[in-house]
Amino acid sequence: MKYTGAVALLAVMSGTTALAQAPPSEIDAHIAAARSAAGQDYRATFVNLCLPSAPRGGGPGPAGPGAPAPPPTPDRANWYAAPFKVFDNLYWLGTRQHSSWALQTSAGIIIIDTNFAWATEPEIIEGLTKLGLNPRDIKYVVISHAHGDHDQGAAELQKRYGAQVVMGAPDWESTLARPATAAGGVPKRDVSVGPDGTKLTLGDTTIQIVATPGHTPGTLSYVFPVKDQGRTVMVAYSGGTLTGAFGTDGARWDEYIASQRRIARVAAEVEASVMLSNHSEYDGAYTKARLVAAPRQPGENHPFIVGTEGVQRYFTVMTECAMAAKLRAGAK
Ligand SMILES: [Zn+2]
């Protein structure tokens, strides 16, 4: 309550501008809630989403939609990471910054997110081979959203192995509008996911795909089962993170917030206890993939298992930061 007088005075002094601003205490309350939910696990997610002065790493960058020409391949020393098996049937094929995953089923492999085009060969194709898997078994490539850091490998995997590419309907539209010279090429439309989401089954494994528009209009998030030493655990996968371009577009902020609540609810329903993202800075995948290889004591948790409460905290960070940022932007 202590801010009430100051806010009222500001409103009188500067008219409608001040009236459009939420009380600082309200913004601070959302940031405090996000910070508390982030704890030590999701510090980078908190910093990138909640603190506006923080550098915004890991976005689509120059390879985003509409990029005129393929960017040069960066120095391999700055991004290459060896592949790792992280669960009985889930493999991490990421660079140090961006993650691509291989979910092995009884009827072939589902690749979840690709990466920049220059990573397709060394990380996905060679990565699978190094881990004893055959890239020819790739049946589906599921793309969380149409930004270059996650989708530039899709066309190549489709062309080379006949994999079906799965994407949110609005993101297909932006993808198909790219010039043929776009980095990684342009995939043909295979499976298009609408606002109600869908279930994708391959052999013994089903991915529940949840439409979570916001970061892009067609962003998809997922829940799916993996096995940890034979025991089934459920994964929640967050498909799109940053909100930096939303500005004063209140509807877009609201859509993003509703999406985080939707995937959090689905994650709670299936008791998801593993939190994954497509950026290592958000889920710690680069470090955790290496930790998995270290010996585990009996009863010690898998490094990727954060518990059902840990998964919910991730989405709380996203939701609370978005609410703070929306107020700060003066969006309605
Ligand atoms: Zn993106």
Q: From the CA of 230, how far away is ligand 1's center (Å)?
A: 33
Q: From the CA of 204, how far away is ligand 1's center (Å)?
A: 30
pLDDT band at 293; cut points 50, 70, 90: confident
* pLDDT surpasses 70 at 89: yes
| Nearest alpha carbon to residue 120 among 166, 161, 148, 156 | 156
Q: Which residue has the tokens 């291989």?
A: 102
* pLDDT surpasses 60 at 42: yes
pLDDT in the model for residue 244 = 85
| Nearest alpha carbon to residue 151 among 194, 100, 75 | 100
Condensed to tens digits (0 to 9), the pLDDT of residues 109-167 reads 999 999 999 999 999 999 999 999 999 999 999 999 999 999 999 999 999 999 999 99
Ion ligand 1 residues within 5 Å by Cβ: 147
Q: From the CA of 140, how far away is ligand 1's center (Å)?
A: 20
Q: Which of 45-59, 186-200, 242-256 has the lowest mean pLDDT?
A: 45-59
pLDDT in the model for residue 22 = 66
Condensed to tens digits (0 to 9), the pLDDT of residues 214-270 reads 999 999 999 999 999 999 999 999 999 999 889 999 999 999 999 999 999 999 999
For the whole prediction, is pTM greater than 0.85? yes
